[in-house]
Amino acid sequence: MNKTDIITGLKNPCKVPKYLYHRMKEFKYYFDFQNLEVDEQVLSNYKQAREKIELEFQSLSGQTRGENYSPGVVSREDAENLKGLIQEQEPDIVVETGVCNGMSTLAILESLDASGKLCSIDLPEKPNSSEDEFWSGKGGSVIPPNKSPGWIIPEDLRENWELILGNSMYELPDLLEDLEKIDIFIHDSEHSYEMMMFEFCLAWKHLKKGGYLVCDDHNWNNAFHDFAEEKELAKYRIGNLGLVQK
């Protein structure tokens, strides 16, 4: 990575909580793939998928853990950033925890080479599911009652996708043992400190040299920052995604 590809600084500092400001200042901004040509078809697919999800949620009302039901979709910016990372790295194997309705999963699958594979783990929550099964800080993200995790993924992209249902605390160890080595790991499941550190430490052992560990919502707590400091790693940020490279 060239020095010219990395700049230091802070984006939108007024929006960053004060207790995280000192950590955010340590971030470097990674622009290697920011200038990739925008794929208009991918952007169109994102818009169509988002519209389908919003249509489903128009008739879905209720709350869980005191939060209104929500689709938990990734922003278009972060979808483009995931696409850029996958295109640049050309990974053979990507592992993702957390699928929900499937917007980030869609971005990954659209960007994989024909030989690439995505393995996803998801513990699906639907309206009226028992709240005791899920982390108390999860918010209101659910999938419609008549759908499965990643239901937005079209059939032509499912050939390179393996979906495992269950808690990543129990499913991730066996998956990584079977895969042995992976190119990219993406955390977007339970954002508790304990779960994040568990996934980071486990995935790191199986990540190839030069591979990336990616964390969505990296500022939910200090887990991502503490992990990077413990390993003495430079932290990179693209949009809402935090990255470290092995």
pLDDT mean over 21-42: 50
pLDDT over 70 (residue 8): no
**pTM reported for the whole predicted model:** 0.84
Architecture of domain 38-245: 3-Layer(aba) Sandwich (3.40)
pLDDT over 80 (residue 246): yes
Cα distances from 106 to residues 18, 112, 160, 187, 207, in angstroms, run 34, 10, 12, 15, 22
- pLDDT band (50, 70, 90) for residue 149: very high
pLDDT over 50 (residue 16): no
Q: Beta 67-68 vs 6-8: how paired, if at all?
A: unpaired
Segments making up each domain of the chain, as ranges: 38-245
pLDDT over 50 (residue 20): no
Residue 54 burial (C-beta neighbours within 10 Å; 0-12, 13-18, 19+):
exposed
- Mean pLDDT rounded to a whole number for the chain: 82
pLDDT over 60 (residue 90): yes
pLDDT over 50 (residue 6): no
Count of Cβ atoms closer than 10 Å to residue 113 Cβ? 12
pLDDT over 50 (residue 115): yes
Model confidence pLDDT, tens digit, residues 126-138: 877 776 777 667 7
